[in-house]
């Protein structure tokens, strides 16, 4: 048998064992259902996702703690993935600077096929097992960093290769897959395998698998940022006010958390050069901007600790 035919046979056998590629007889009549019934059927499938993610709570918590520890040492979080999984990582990375005031280099999303693949499919990009390694080398990956590989099937060569390289460097490696005993899980220090089962449309892993990936990456960044002091009393206090809506949100946040009027909140923000966290500290302790900034630095940016130190 020619090598190409043998590889195809092996791949077909491999896919046949993946839950994300399975079909179910109960959905064989989707094209015959009315629209409301289709909506309800799809929603019923989607409701399975949170339970699948919850079953991975221990592994997710371990990843959050590992990521946070590396952030504190100046490390980065780097997502790698192909197709939908790659886009999920890129999306989460792009949301961190406006939400948490982070430097764009702190959380990075790499996708097989590069920038073009964010909007369009790039043929065979996910099959290049060396591409992620090249990108990670270009980023200057170190042992202080965390690399999170996303793949619904858990077998994407691009992700397998990237995790293999990252683990060899000594970086923390995390795998997010939708199948048990995944190839990427075997290459990672922490395997988060949220078993979402057959897709509503067989093999369309942008559906439940993609939703599970989004829920998990939300946790990885949001919870690590909470631990780094990027929130206070459940509110974003390191957001970057880069537009009118966010400027209004900054004023509202200071007003509500400090218990002052809009005018006082605006004045405090002006004195704090637009920093919500600094404005709140100044209002809570009557410290000037320099003293408040020094206290925040000493408290590693954790507002509660800075307030306690100045009170």
CATH 1.10.8.1080 in the chain, residue ranges: 231-310
**Low-confidence residues in the chain, pLDDT < 50:** 1
| CATH topology classification for 231-310 | Helicase, Ruva Protein; domain 3 (1.10.8)
Task: Determine the pLDDT at residue 241.
Answer: 84
The Cβ of residue 260 has, within 10 Å, a number of other Cβ atoms equal to 17
Q: Report pLDDT digits (tens) over 152-164.
A: 999 999 999 999 9
Where does the chain hold its CATH 3.40.50.10490 domain(s)?
Answer: 48-225
Q: Point out the residues that are catalytic.
A: 95, 126
pLDDT for residue 10: 53
- Per-residue pLDDT, 22: 58
Report yes or no: 14 and 172 within 8 Å, Cβ to Cβ: no
pLDDT of residue 11: 52
What is the per-residue pLDDT for 1?
Answer: 45
Q: How far apart are CA 20 and CA 84, in angstroms?
A: 14
Supply the pLDDT for residue 3. Answer: 59
**Separation of alpha carbons 288 and 272, rounded Å:** 9
Q: What is the per-residue pLDDT for 283?
A: 96
The pLDDT of residue 311:
87
**Architecture of the domain spanning 48-225:** 3-Layer(aba) Sandwich (3.40)
Q: What is the pLDDT of residue 281?
A: 96
């Amino acid at each position: 048998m020619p090598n190409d035919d043998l590889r195809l046979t092996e791949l077909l056998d491999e896919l046949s064992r993946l839950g994300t590629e399975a079909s179910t007889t109960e959905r064989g009549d989707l094209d015959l259902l009315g629209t409301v019934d289709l909506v309800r059927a799809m929603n019923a499938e989607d409701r399975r996702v949170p339970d699948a993610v919850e079953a991975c709570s221990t592994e997710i918590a371990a990843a959050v703690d590992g990521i946070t520890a590396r952030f504190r040492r100046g490390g980065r979080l780097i997502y790698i993935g192909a197709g939908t999984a790659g886009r999920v990582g890129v999306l989460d990375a792009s949301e961190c600077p406006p939400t948490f005031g982070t430097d764009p280099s702190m959380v990075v999303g790499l996708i097989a096929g590069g920038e073009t693949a964010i909007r369009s499919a790039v043929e065979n990009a996910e099959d290049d097992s060396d591409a992620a390694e090249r990108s990670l080398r270009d980023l200057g990956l170190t042992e202080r960093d965390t690399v999170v590989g996303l793949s619904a099937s858990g077998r994407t060569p691009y992700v397998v290769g990237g995790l293999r390289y990252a683990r060899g460097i000594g970086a923390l490696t995390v795998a997010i897959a939708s199948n048990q005993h995944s190839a990427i899980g075997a290459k990672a220090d922490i395997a988060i395998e949220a078993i979402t089962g057959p897709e509503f449309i067989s093999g369309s892993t942008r559906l439940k698998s993609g939703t599970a990936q989004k829920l998990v990456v939300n946790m990885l960044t949001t919870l690590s940022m909470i631990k780094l002091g990027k929130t206070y009393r459940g509110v974003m206090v390191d957001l970057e006010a880069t537009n009118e809506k966010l400027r209004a949100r900054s004023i509202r946040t200071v007003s509500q958390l400090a218990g002052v009027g809009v005018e006082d909140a605006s004045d405090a923000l002006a004195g704090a050069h637009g920093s919500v966290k600094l404005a709140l500290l100044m209002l809570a302790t009557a410290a000037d901007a320099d003293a408040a900034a020094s206290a925040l630095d000493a408290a590693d940016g954790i507002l509660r600790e800075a307030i306690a130190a100045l009170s």
